[in-house]
Amino acid sequence: MASTDNSTGIKIHEQCLVGPPSAATTHLAVPLTFFDLIWLRFHPVERIFFYSLPPPKSEPCVFFEKVVRKLKRSLSHTLQHYVPLAGKIVWPSDSPKPFIQFKPGDGVSLLLALSHDAAQFNHFLDNSPREATLSRSLIPHLESSHSLASVLSLQITLFPNKGFCIGICTHHAALDGKSSTMFVKAWAHVCKSAEEESLLPDFEPLFDRELVRDPAGLESVFINSWTQLASQMDPSDTSNGRTLKTISQPLEEHSVRATFELTRAHLEMIKKRVLSNWDLVGEAQTNLSSPKPTTLSSFVTTLAYVSVCIAKAIHQAQNVDKFALGINVDCRDRLEPAIPGNYFGNCVASHIVDTEADDFTKEDGVVIVAKKIWSKIKALDKGVLNGIETVFPRFIAMFSEGVKGMGVAGSNRFGVYGTDFGWGRPAKVEIISIDKGVNIGLAESKDGKGGVQVGLVLNNQAMDLFHVIFHQGLSFD
């Protein structure tokens, strides 16, 4: 199989299916919990790992013969520990809810590609704004229909004599960011170490769905929410909500993608500013029993600063006045009883930060928003699932009122820059699916010095304004 995308210069070299070793395969069915059903028709999560690779390994004949062979073999042996990733999400007519099913012969779609413009590799590594659609040529398609959906698809693209990248596309109803990262790290470890039969304890996935309790009947709540949303979006839809098709969201016209860095010094400066104005700005603390914190996490600091910069940029570029921020909270160690950290699937809850729609564009917006993010997280410590059933209708109501929603993808705690397949650490890691709406893509800084990498996709005019606002706000006192 060989075809070329003339707009990007990417030629398809081969398409294949990689499954676990045949001796390790058997029929398998894994239920979906309410944590999974929250994301049932959400757009796939897409991430790219870029690796520099000098000649001769990056010469096409050597790369596809030796490097890819090693990547394929290690992928197969990793999948013997992560069998559900090689299966499909299915929704048979006699089942009240979908589930993950693996059958012998199933596998992960792997696309091998070759770039005819090797110089583009450096362009992708650059943090400067570039056309947002360019990165999509490095991401594989994830199959989805009314009755079934793939869990994982991969694409490996070679930039001759420069390097290569691995594009990963995952169905959000099957796994969250923590689980996705654990799988990629496991694959990298197997590839680098050639330990094909065993995994490090940190990479051993736990699929036991009995650990997730649902006394409030949240499974039905989220299935019904998706059904109602489907009928609202498309009155002609005849699926009655029984569909696994992911909802596509068109890319905003003239969108560009860029990467920004908040160093540890930047974060400490922002924390100091926020805490020094804590009692002077904004409404009374919603969590009155909690005293003013002595410090703030990098997560809170980054989200407050970046979301305010985004809102002010969009406000100036598009005259939007109302904004809201949604955050995802890992629930594994917040549940009673707690769930082990290697639980594989979804175990995150989405919550809306309790801000006023105009908080983000106020002069002291960073302080106000930081206080409210911090207060929300403190409240969730006492009940991470409190109000989770209202998130769907709240978001729909906000959007109908013209509120611009902002979301978060990734985490600065995943350690993605430690993902070494045997040819060194990544030269860059990007979350590509942040272009589905206004989302803040988070990762730890590549230099490992405690900073945070921020990925954004915005209209080019808003991006120019964001660049100015972001850097002006980082001028040291």
* 352 vs 3: CA distance, rounded Å: 44
Structure tokens at 305: 């600063």
CB atoms within 10 A of CB 448: 11
* 68 vs 72: CA distance, rounded Å: 6
Q: Which of 143, 146, 165, 133 is nearest to 58 (CA)?
A: 165
DSSP type of residue 110: E
Residue type at 154?
L
Structure tokens at 366: 């960073």
Q: Are 309 and 463 in contact (CB under 8 A)?
A: no
DSSP type of residue 324: E
Q: Which of 9, 2, 13, 5 is nearest to 116 (CA)?
A: 9
Structure tokens at 355: 């801000």
Q: What is the Cα gyration radius of the chain? A: 22
Q: Give the distance, in angstroms, between the CA of residue 253 and the centroid of all CA atoms in the same chain.
A: 22
CA distances from 278 to 272, 293, 370, 374, 475 (A): 10, 9, 9, 11, 20
CB atoms within 10 A of CB 117: 12
Q: Give the position of tokens 């959400």.
A: 42
Catalytic residues: 172, 420
Give me the DSSP letters along 26-70: --EEEE--HHHHTTTTSPPEEEEEEEE--TTTTSHHHIIIIIHHH
Q: Prior bond to 21 cis, omega within 30?
A: no
Q: Are 161 and 119 in contact (CB under 8 A)?
A: no
